[in-house]
Structure 1
Amino acid sequence: MVCYKGGALIALMLAAPAWAAPVGTIKNTAGEASVLRGEQKLAAAPGLALEQSDSIVTGSDGSVGLTLRDNTTLSVGPRTTLGLDEFDFEPASDRMKLVASVARGTMMMTSGTIAKLAPEKVSVVTKTGTIGVRGTRFVVSVEE
């Protein structure tokens, strides 16, 4: 039996960051593609778990397909930078939000559960405006 004095274990547990569920997963890739996570540059590969604030970057021959936890699907084309800026999917607590940004390139989105339950909580941001998602499938193209 282990006994901890002075609440050291509790303090250590409270200081540890909470584990956050991945926001989605990469399903397929082709050509040059990577995921920027903070200071890290990861090779985009099928099965890679995506986190909030990740950016998907593709080269001139790259493409990435990904699925978010609410079954939103995103297809990212060549020469694209897509940010997964905000994602919250806790429908039982009425906490749902999806904000993605396209800095350049092309992206096709098929909306998932968040857009079906609360379409006003889904948006795609570009350098010239914000798209409110009300439909099921659309394409965004941002010129450099």
Structure 2
Amino acid sequence: MKRLKLTSLLAAVGVFVLAGAAHAAGESVATFNNVSGDIGIARNGTTMNAVSGSTLFVSDRIVSGAGSSAGIVFKDGTQLTLGPSTDIQVRDYAFEPKQAKFEFFVYLARGAAVYSSGMIAKLSPESVKVATPTATIGVRGTRFIIEAD
């Protein structure tokens, strides 16, 4: 009987530890919709191929090959469409309306992307930033194309 209680206790502790590790890793912030060609997601030192339904996390870097494109939809409805030979990273993202916590920051190292604002730009426009090697853009709710060499 005591052995069973100890095993149950250890199993419960294991569940809490695993839940904590999953929470520490963070929740996904976006999902790929349309993926065409070679799109890679670099995460924690590994690279995986993106397919429709793949999820993105803060710090993920997305690299599209020549002739490739992808549509990404963030939790707040923000849409990014990546063109060929694009390298972009999700640097920060938060969409927690109940806590009034909003953040959207992506860095476009090279290539081209079409941005279409979602709820973050409507609720907290000062929280949206898109940066390139030569500029940082503050978005105030709009749709635009951005390119970086």
Moved over 6 A (4+): none
Partner in structure 2 of residue 126 of structure 1? 132
Select 2:45's aligned residue among 39, 42, 50: 39
Partner in structure 1 of residue 79 of structure 2? 73
Judged with a 3 Å threshold, the aligned counterparts in structure 2 of structure 1 residues 4 and 115 are, in CA distance, closer, same or farther, namely farther
Overall identity of the aligned pairs, in %: 35
Select 1:13's aligned residue among 13, 16, 26: 16
- Give the TM-score, by structure 1 length: 0.89
Deviation at 1:17, TM superposition (A): 2.1
Question: Greater CA radius of gyration, 1 or 2?
Answer: 2
Please give the root-mean-square deviation of Cα atoms over the aligned residues, in Å.
2.1
Q: Tell me which amino acid in the other structure corresponds to 1:95.
A: K
- Per mean C-alpha deviation after superposition, the further-off stretch among 18-27 and 52-61 is 18-27
Aligned residues: 142
- Per mean C-alpha deviation after superposition, the further-off stretch among 13-22 and 68-77 is 13-22
Which string of whole-angstrom CA distances, capped at 9 and with x for unpartnered residues, describes residues 58-86 of structure 1?
A: 11111111100000000000110010110
- The structure richer in helix per residue is 2
Select 2:99's aligned residue among 93, 97, 113: 93
C-alpha distance in 2 between matches for 1:135 and 1:106 = 19
Deviation at 1:130, TM superposition (A): 0.6
Partner in structure 1 of residue 145 of structure 2? 139
**What is the SS of the residue equivalent to 1:114?**
helix
**What is the SS of the residue equivalent to 2:146?**
strand
**What is the SS of the residue equivalent to 1:120?**
helix
C-alpha distance in 2 between matches for 1:91 and 1:14 = 28
- Per mean C-alpha deviation after superposition, the further-off stretch among 64-73 and 27-36 is 27-36
Deviation at 1:30, TM superposition (A): 1.0
Structure 2: gaps (5+ residues):
none
Deviation at 1:3, TM superposition (A): 3.8
**What is the SS of the residue equivalent to 1:17?**
helix
